[in-house]
Structure 1
């Protein structure tokens, strides 16, 4: 029979406390150690703790960290979580002095600081991967600036462009997503420590010093907000979601382009699996894995944000360990998506023969014929459009290529205008060639060589800027770690 007077209840232990402990113990212990050291340094520097007491606690913390095998720990119910385990060890070694480290702090401000530290490292890695993908796409776009493809709208062949131009659009979205993710990463850079439970402390704490030692840009000012506001969580996962939502659309295009009936994109053998029963099939299954992994990452990000919906504006478990674990899994899955895309896209090539056949069969250069008629025959665009439409209809009916459709064009032109065109057959062929179509789209953002070269250069500059932004944060974190180690080691020397 269960003894309901003793904590923890066995069912609560097994369903909540033990799984939570297992899920968070590694990162919890890592960042708990940093928070303990930074808080202790601050208590000593402000005189809240006498230096000899601070030194004794420092030695005990050092020994606990070195002697504890985190991975071997299992939840026994003796201590509610790793925080209480460390405090119990301090009291075992130092007696009542072991409880002095908790002066002017609470698990409330500690927990949110822990989560920010854990997220900080994960988003830093994700940004690095996203920027590496961006740079790989820029290099691929440079190499494919002149590689013609068929651009589709509404699932139908629309106009010719280049693969480099298509990738440029992907790069632009990815850079905007990286900018949003970088902004969300900046939202992690304010420290909750010193808020204590809700209202700060009656002790003369130095919140700025703790923030500095932990590598934050400064303290998060409002102490209630330190323990109640979860926008650092919702903002991060919202920004992260968009990365994979948008990449998922590109992955869907790749799935479409590799279909046998389309055949625009060729995936190399190293990324193709063969059917176990149908030897003729080349299955580009990495694209399928990318699609469901990206969707699963989007779903996990949504889950994190949705858990926060209609929660009270106060400290609550809904934003803490259990949910944070779920979020960390989104980072793991998302990292796989980005790494696989970084390998896949540069390895693929365009099937130029299929592109040419689709270009001819679908008359996708016909818009340039209409434009040419406006420029060279002084027609209105609507009249030119009617001639181009009639030409395309006749050519498609004959199963011919548009370049061989001069007779159909002459007939359509005469029917619309009552006169013969001044365009020669050679000029007509030039006008409807896909190379001409692309070359004449030389305005900002177009696929022509100069416009695309300028765009890709700007993308490189933007990627460098986002890298510099990441590097600045990383530098602050690393130098802060050095300051913390130096300040903590100074306490040890006093022992």
Structure 2
């Protein structure tokens, strides 16, 4: 009976590599990802390695020309549109087979001093660095949009919240600047991840380098890497370059997710802090009055999926052996690409919906004027005018608020000089010295914000300086991205010049 069962499995799966199921769930999806993401980088690696082999006289000039012409004849469009062929395990072997068909057996020497291990890692890193630069570029666009928008709202007074409760008056620009600063830190974390990613594994070969006199430094330069991974074992086994990128992406998504939650709450009719532009809302199929802020909802949901994809990357690395292992390769990489691509799109969407929204300045100001959130400044003012400790001042003001709330008087307009004077006598035994003019001025949100002109505070002049500094920092951040892009582009152009040189008679 078992033999019959085994025969049926063999009849379905086949008796030669790969089995049908293995092909369908592993090799075919990996081939699809490889032809979309690795094809060009693989060709670049072939060109660079061949050029280095010729320089090192490991292949002759004639052999280099013969192999180079074969590389030039590879039709990338054909591969991009091709289906998986089970005759070849993966894209590498399929291209190698064609090179040998075109150039003869001498094309096998293209693999002198290298392995699929070090080559594969290099290609992963070359793919990731481009995707990361594209993401960082979009992050800067969002950051610049928020700076421009914040400049319009340095005098837009609103209530700031702690523990979801009204806390102190601030400005919308002050809140946005906090988001801008978070994005700046996200950028720096991505920069650090890029530095880790953009290191060359070439020359590590399978695990222990090679006995051939190859030039690892030359390969680093030809492929626009910034450094070499020194230890060959580390070069093929290390997966922290993926984990570091995943962690930076995950944290960036968590950061913006918190902001999107705030915006979704502020978009409710109860808060009514702003109104989204029409392209970013949807109507209801049944309720005519609805303007659903779906763009923010999708932003929050997609950010959660970015966090999930990044966590999948970390989880797949967890407890894997420290060696060359498929767990960190073709099955894993697409989760990180997907997270990066989604986050990039979210940055673009969020920047657009923010700069096009209409902020309800009048309502936010009115709410701030009526709120007890202003009383911190009153407590501060009493410290100065009454020459008492802050704890005594806090006790006086807190007692007043408790009295008003007990009487269902929930607006600051009910907080009078007379009531505070009464509580001052109870707490200190002395009447107030502060004048009524200074007293009532201390309860105004614009005064509260004006006196908070310290570095990092919401005072308009302070915010203007802070936003200007952020704007100036954008130049160096953009320049960093440009330099990396230029280095990669120049390298690729140089490789194609080498390739063209081999094809000339």
TM-score tier after normalising by the smaller chain length: over 0.9
- Contact preservation (8 Å) 1:194, 1:200: yes
Displacement of 1:392: 2.7
Match of 1:317 in 2: 326
Q: 1:65 to 1:204 in 2, by over 3 A?
A: farther
- Contact preservation (8 Å) 2:374, 2:444: yes
- Contact preservation (8 Å) 2:135, 2:341: no
TM-score by length of 2: 0.93
Root-mean-square deviation (Å)? 1.8
Match of 1:40 in 2: 50
Question: Equivalents in 2 of 1:141, 1:178: separation in Å?
Answer: 19
- Contact preservation (8 Å) 1:395, 1:408: no
Displacement of 1:404: 5.1
Match of 2:150 in 1: 141
Displacement of 1:104: 1.3
- Which of 222, 225, 237 does residue 228 from structure 1 map onto? 237
Do residues 10 (structure 1) and 20 (structure 2) align? yes
Number of matched pairs: 493
- Contact preservation (8 Å) 2:34, 2:91: no
- Contact preservation (8 Å) 1:308, 1:319: yes
Question: Equivalents in 2 of 1:390, 1:354: separation in Å?
Answer: 28
Question: Equivalents in 2 of 1:143, 1:360: separation in Å?
Answer: 21
Question: Per-residue CA shift, 1:225-267, capped at 9, x if unaligned?
Answer: 1100111111111111111111111111112222222222332
Q: Which runs of 5+ in 2 are unaligned?
A: 1-6
Match of 2:84 in 1: 75
Please identify, of 149-158 and 213-222, the stretch whose mean Cα deviation from structure 2 is larger. Answer: 213-222
- Which of 84, 92, 101 does residue 93 from structure 2 map onto? 84
Displacement of 1:395: 4.3
Displacement of 1:421: 2.2
Question: Per-residue CA shift, 1:386-424, capped at 9, x if unaligned?
Answer: 221233334443536424532333333343344432333
- Which of 58, 64, 69 does residue 74 from structure 2 map onto? 64
Match of 2:306 in 1: 297
Question: Per-residue CA shift, 1:437-485, capped at 9, x if unaligned?
Answer: 0001111111112322222222223333322222222221122122222
TM-score by length of 1: 0.95
- Contact preservation (8 Å) 2:158, 2:367: no
Question: Equivalents in 1 of 2:361, 2:60: separation in Å?
Answer: 77
Question: Per-residue CA shift, 1:143-190, capped at 9, x if unaligned?
Answer: 111111111111111110001111111111110111011110111211
- Contact preservation (8 Å) 1:395, 1:402: no
Alignment of 1:252-263 (within 5 A): 252-263=261-272
Alignment of 1:147-166 (within 5 A): 147-166=156-175
What SS does the corresponding residue of 1:195 show, helix, strand or coil?
Answer: coil
Question: Equivalents in 1 of 2:398, 2:335: separation in Å?
Answer: 55
Displacement of 1:350: 3.1
Match of 2:3 in 1: none
- Contact preservation (8 Å) 1:265, 1:350: yes
- Contact preservation (8 Å) 2:249, 2:339: no
- Contact preservation (8 Å) 1:366, 1:392: no
Q: Which runs of 5+ in 1 are unaligned?
A: none
Displacement of 1:332: 1.8
Please identify, of 3-12 and 18-27, the stretch whose mean Cα deviation from structure 2 is larger. Answer: 3-12
Please identify, of 254-263 and 352-361, the stretch whose mean Cα deviation from structure 2 is larger. Answer: 352-361
Match of 1:477 in 2: 488
Question: Per-residue CA shift, 1:266-296, capped at 9, x if unaligned?
Answer: 3233322222212223221111111110010
Alignment of 1:46-445 (within 5 A): 46-65=56-75, 68-396=77-405, 397=407, 399=409, 401-403=411-413, 405-406=415-416, 407-445=418-456
Match of 1:491 in 2: 502
Displacement of 1:487: 2.4
